Structures are given as structure tokens and as C-alpha cells.
């Protein structure tokens, strides 16, 4: 699989403002925030997209979501927030390494563009 900018962030070759790290995932602030809080939670394993998930990945995906909720609590998003996973070009995915966007800190519109 081609290396992405996120693999380079995991390897600390590119700096990022890190919120959380454990053996399975890394969470860091988005370089181009779309809301006052915009954090990306990524698996350390470089899965390119939702379409590449296989049986056995359930716990990993659940872990990413749980970590995102804990960061939301820590960052004070008591009024609510949104988790987004873009998939493929039509889904707005630009980095081919699965990531959960945590967006909050303002009222978010619906439907998304």
C-alpha cells in the first residue's frame, strides 16, 4: 500500500498536535479544521478506506469511535459533536488511510455538502 501523510505522522516524520495515542490508534488535530474542534482518529494499521475492512476489524473500528468519544468529553463537547468517515472520492476522502473526523464546538449543519 502506498504510504500516506498519516503514516508519516504516525512515524513522527511530520509534526502534528497529538491528542491521544495507544497501541492501536493515534488522534491528532486536523491541519485544516472545519470546526473549532476537528480531530482525526486513525488506526496505526494503514487501512486505506472503509471498503478495505474485513471480518475481524470490528473491534478496531469500535476502538476508534470510543477514543473519539473520550476526546470529545475531554475537549468539552457537551453540546454535541459529529463523527464522520469519508469513503472514496465521492465521499470526500482525500487521504487513503481510514480516519474518523471528530467535529464539534459549533452547531453543525445537516445535510453535509
Residues recognised as catalytic: 99
Distance CA 69, CA 110 (A): 20
Binding flag, residue 64, ligand DGP (CB under 6 A)? no
Specify burial of residue 70 (Cβ count, 10 A radius: 0-12, 13-18, 19+).
Answer: middle
* Residue 72 or 93 having the CB closest to ligand DGP: 93
Taking CB under 6 A as the rule, does residue 56 contact ligand DGP?
Answer: no
State the minimum distance, in angstroms, from the CB of residue 75 to ligand DGP: 16
- Phi and psi angles of residue 8, each rounded to the nearest 5 degrees, phi first: -75, -30
Place of cell 502534528: 16
d(CA 36, CA 59): 29
Stretch of 51-59, 67-75, 88-96, 104-112 lying at the interface with ligand DGP (CB under 6 A): 88-96
Residues engaged in binding ligand DGP (CB under 6 A): 5, 14, 16, 28, 30-32, 40, 86, 92-95
Amino acid at each position: 500500500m502506498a504510504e500516506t501523510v498519516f503514516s508519516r505522522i504516525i512515524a513522527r516524520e511530520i509534526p502534528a498536535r497529538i491528542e491521544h495515542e495507544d497501541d492501536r490508534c493515534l488522534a491528532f488535530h486536523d491541519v485544516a479544521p472545519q470546526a473549532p474542534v476537528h480531530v482525526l482518529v486513525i488506526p496505526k494499521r494503514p487501512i486505506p478506506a472503509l471498503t478495505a475492512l474485513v471480518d475481524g476489524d470490528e473491534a478496531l473500528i469500535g476502538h476508534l469511535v470510543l477514543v473519539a468519544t473520550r476526546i470529545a468529553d475531554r475537549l468539552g463537547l457537551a453540546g454535541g459533536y459529529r463523527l464522520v468517515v469519508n469513503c472514496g472520492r465521492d465521499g470526500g476522502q482525500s487521504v487513503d488511510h481510514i480516519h474518523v473526523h471528530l467535529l464539534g464546538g459549533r452547531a453543525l449543519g445537516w445535510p453535509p455538502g
